[in-house]
Amino acid sequence: MRAIRHAQLGQLVTLARLAALATVLLLPAALRGQGVNSVVWRMRGTLVADKQSANDVGWTGVSIGFTGQADNKVRWLGAVHAETFGGDTFDAWSYVSKVAHYTPTFTVAGPPDLASQLLALPDGSRVALEGVLDPGARILLLDAVKPLPKPGGS
Amino acid sequence: MRPRTRVLLVLAILGVIPVSAQTFRGGTKPYVLQGKLAKDQSGAQQSGWLAVSIGTLGKPDTPVRWVGVTAFNTWDDDPFEGRQVLSGLMPDQPTLLVDGPAGLLAQLQKAPVGNKVVLRGMLVPESRNFLLSGVQVVPASAKMPK
């Protein structure tokens, strides 16, 4: 009797593992089928205090949230340039324009050191953000946070 | 009022000392504009960060082309200055007045609405003249070659 129960438990564990594996393997394909692709992303702009300032210094204000932070903890970026892999500004504009009304527009999912670096930059900083963006989920996984020189090279 | 302060005040009134911020013009330099050709201003507003109209220098009867700008950079890839300069040309119409080789002007004039376009040239912000040195037109569905 105990042997039978043990065998049934083993089958359940195997089934659960297969289900987990199938989820991991098939979910990305399912998302791609819905037109949700991750794209290599580069965006440049000026960090400012609020939405109004972001719209004043950039083509559009982009708000950036952070996982693990309070919902209202966002950095506002006056975006002056956005491009996907290969320098495509057309797709990049399309992605931003579709989600610019959300706050936050994008949520930084990490890594923690780059998220902290972005959070710590003072208002007025010019910055280039590079990483991988999931436009559908509006999640940005940073690869680099590059402070840029201000006008006059300071 | 101290004499020194009085002198500075008089100089400021006479315009010898600039007391107000000057509009940033950026100077004459090469720029690269990327955008999508639209039928009109409304279409351009829906296809780029900024809707710009492009007329032809010395030919006021030539129809303007509307472009939804997705990037405007200096030759050394500074989008901050690019945005500042292009925004400084607004809201006058047309935003830019192109000139240059007849072939390039014709290429821009004939490019179909919806196509992507890359314009390279020398911009004189004071006169809004954009002397074209390159025009690249790509179908809307095609990727822009690097």
- Whether chain B has a CB inside 8 Å of the CB on A92: the answer is yes
Residue of chain B nearest A98, judged by CA positions: B46
Report, as an integer, the average pLDDT of A98-123.
93
Percent over 70 (pLDDT), chain B:
81
Question: Residues A15-50: pLDDT tens digits?
Answer: 444 444 344 334 444 444 445 479 999 999 999 999
Residue B79 and residue A126: Cβ atoms within 8 Å? no
Report the mean per-residue pLDDT for chain A: 82
The string of pLDDT tens digits covering residues A74-102 is: 999 999 999 998 889 999 999 999 998 89
| CB contact (8 A) between residue A90 and residue B49 | no
Please tell me the predicted confidence (pLDDT) of residue B135: 96
At B81 the pLDDT is 94
Query: pTM for this one?
Result: 0.78
- What is the residue extent of each domain of chain A? 1-35, 39-153
Judged against a pLDDT cut of 90, whether residue A3 lies above it is answered with no
**DSSP 8-state code for residue A104:** S
Determine contact: A100 vs chain B, CB below 8 A. no
- How many alpha carbons lie under 13 Å from residue A131 in its C-beta half-sphere? 24
Contact A137, A95 (CB under 8 A): no
Alpha-carbon gap: A16 to the closest alpha carbon of chain B (Å): 43
pLDDT at position A72: 72
- Residue segments in chain B with a per-residue pLDDT below the cut of 50: 8-9, 11-22
CA distances to A75, B97, B100, B124 from B26, in Å: 28, 17, 21, 9
In this prediction, residue A87 carries a pLDDT of 86
Q: Which residues, 6 or more positions from B102, have their beta carbon under 8 angstroms from its beta carbon?
A: none
Q: How far is A44 from chain B (nearest CA, A)?
A: 8
Complex-level ipTM: 0.79
